[in-house]
């Protein structure tokens, strides 16, 4: 079934595709880091700890950006904040190509992370608020599917560009989204839900208090656990994937090729999640896909043959990214319009702390010669905790109208 045909309104399809392209550029930039660090480790003689710092600094920026953009989007609108975050991350990505040393590159990656982290929760909120209840979850998962397209693009750039032209050219390509922002400014409208509350904005203090009020506290706790466990495991596993392949004995170019194949499995992961999320609900998709992600992580970390490694990596990509789609669809639905972007931004920001810790921790463990299998068992346990939080604390939002 063609998922896009389920969005009957041409204006809604245009919004989904337009926001999806900005999402794709986000993913391309994040994906590029995982491939660039493998090349930088050779060019600049970086140790595992420095690789961990470089990947984590991006997540520090994403944590700050998610909270700031979420708060600002409830005050000034979803569309203007989406455009500004897109411009910030693309400019910083382009400037990364001119970095003369490790410290300067870290500064640029923090700024890029700020824009990246801010754009994602705002874009998902905008799409969620602009869709009818019967198609809302599927639309947001399809929005998330553009992440796989961006990763595939970054893998192709890594495979065809980095070996021959170097990592600087790869970063330079990351500046292209700045031009796309000019188109986006005219192509999309702000959320109709936001238009309803625009004339009576709620203060920041009251918005944060409401997020933690008795009515929403259970959902907030569940979301913060969910976001932390998913982001921790994703950035710990996927940013290190090319490097892990090298550690397992494959050449740099061969590792890029294998990760590209694994990344292709993300698309069917998203599309199946998009189908199941409206058929069986948000909790079903999140719990089932996270449990299979945990099993795949344990399998990948302990794979002993090339075939097992590829099969486990494909399953890991399929289920992990399907869970991401469900998480982005679920998060905005748990808050009313007055605090939706703030609540989503704060949950995303807390989750990004996991994205800060995980690459550093993996770098530390690899530096201490801890077995890859043991490291991936840590991700197994973390993902199980997130699945249990959704199962016992989450409430189903399938088919409900947004307040």
Q: Against a cut of 0.95, is the pTM above it?
A: no
110 Ramachandran zone, left/alpha/beta (phi>0; psi -120 to 50): alpha
Q: Where are the beta strands (DSSP E) in 250-345?
A: none
Q: Where are the domains of the chain?
A: 11-185+201-393
Task: Report the phi/psi class of residue 141: left, alpha or beta, with left for phi > 0 and alpha for psi in -120 to 50.
Answer: alpha
- Report residue 289's pLDDT band, with 50, 70 and 90 as the boundaries: very high
CATH class of 11-185+201-393: mainly alpha
pLDDT confidence of 248, banded at 50, 70, 90? low
Mean pLDDT of 27-34: 79
User: Which stretches within 97-191 are classed as H helix?
Assistant: 102-129, 133-160, 162-165, 167-173, 177-187
**Averaged confidence pLDDT in the chain:** 84
Over its C-alpha atoms, the chain yields an Rg (Å, rounded) of 20
Q: What pLDDT band is residue 65 in, cutting at 50, 70 and 90?
A: very high
Identify the pLDDT of residue 8.
Answer: 64
317: which 2 tokens?
């990509």
How confident is the model over 135-163, as a mean pLDDT?
82
Cα distances from 188 to residues 18, 66, 77, 298, in angstroms, run 7, 21, 13, 42
Map tokens 């590829």 to a residue. 310
Which tokens belong to 380?
């197994």
How far CA 162 is from CA of 37, 44, 172, in Å, comes to 11, 15, 12
CA distance 403 to 400: 9
pLDDT > 70: percent of the chain: 92
- 348-388 pLDDT per residue, tens: 999 988 888 887 788 788 778 788 888 889 999 999 999 99
Residue 6, pLDDT above cutoff 60: no
Question: Looking at the predicted structure, is the pLDDT value of residue 5 above 50?
Answer: no
Report the residue count for the chain. 403
Whether residue 66 contacts residue 121, with contact meaning beta carbons closer than 8 Å, is answered with yes
pLDDT at position 249 over 70: no
Structure confidence at residue 145 (pLDDT) = 84
Residue 111 pLDDT level (bands cut at 50, 70, 90):
very high
Q: What is the mean pLDDT of residues 311-321?
A: 89
Q: Which of 270, 355, 378 is nearest to 317 (CA)?
A: 270
pLDDT at residue 257, as a whole number: 67
Beta carbons of 395 and 270 less than 8 angstroms apart: no
Residue bearing the bigger pLDDT, 231 or 368: 231
Report in angstroms the alpha-carbon separations of 257 from 12, 242, 272, 298: 36, 9, 25, 22
Q: What percent of the chain has pLDDT over 90?
A: 22
Residue range 266-274: average pLDDT? 87
Mean pLDDT value across residues 256-267: 74
């Amino acid at each position: 079934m063609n998922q896009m045909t389920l969005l009957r309104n041409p204006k809604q399809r245009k919004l989904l595709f337009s926001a999806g392209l900005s999402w794709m550029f986000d993913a391309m930039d994040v994906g590029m880091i995982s491939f660039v660090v493998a090349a930088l480790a050779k060019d600049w003689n970086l140790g595992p700890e420095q690789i961990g710092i470089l990947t984590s600094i991006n997540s520090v920026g994403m944590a700050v950006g998610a909270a700031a953009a979420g708060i600002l989007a409830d005050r000034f609108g979803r569309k203007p904040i989406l455009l500004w975050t897109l411009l910030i991350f693309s400019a910083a990505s382009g400037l990364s190509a001119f970095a003369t040393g490790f410290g300067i590159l870290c500064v640029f990656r923090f700024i890029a992370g700020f824009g990246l982290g801010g754009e994602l929760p705002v874009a998902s909120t905008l799409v969620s608020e602009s869709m009818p209840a019967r198609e809302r979850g599927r639309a947001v998962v399809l929005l998330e599917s553009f992440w796989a397209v961006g990763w595939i693009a970054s893998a192709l750039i890594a495979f065809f560009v980095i070996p021959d032209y170097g990592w600087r050219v790869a970063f330079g390509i990351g500046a292209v989204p700045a031009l796309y922002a000019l188109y986006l400014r005219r192509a999309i409208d702000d959320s109709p839900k936001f238009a309803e509350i625009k004339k009576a904005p709620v203060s920041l203090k009251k918005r944060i208090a409401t997020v933690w009020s008795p009515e929403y506290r259970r959902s907030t706790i569940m979301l913060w656990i969910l976001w932390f466990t998913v982001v921790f495991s994703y950035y710990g596993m996927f940013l290190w994937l090319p490097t892990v392949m090298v550690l397992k004995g494959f050449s740099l170019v061969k590792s890029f090729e294998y990760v590209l194949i694994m990344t292709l499995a993300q698309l069917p992961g998203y599309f199946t999640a998009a189908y199941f999320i409206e058929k069986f609900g948000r909790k079903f998709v999140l719990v089932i896909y996270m449990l299979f992600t945990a099993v795949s992580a344990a399998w990948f970390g302990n794979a002993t043959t090339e075939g097992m490694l590829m099969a486990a990596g494909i399953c890991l990509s399929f289920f992990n990214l399907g869970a991401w789609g469900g998480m982005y669809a679920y998060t905005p639905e748990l808050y009313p319009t007055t605090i939706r972007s703030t609540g989503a931004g704060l949950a995303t920001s807390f989750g990004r702390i996991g994205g800060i810790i995980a690459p550093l921790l993996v770098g530390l463990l690899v530096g201490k010669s801890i077995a890859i299998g043991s490291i991936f068992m840590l991700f197994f346990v973390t993902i199980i905790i997130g699945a249990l939080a959704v199962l016992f604390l989450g409430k189903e939002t399938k088919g409900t109208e947004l307040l």
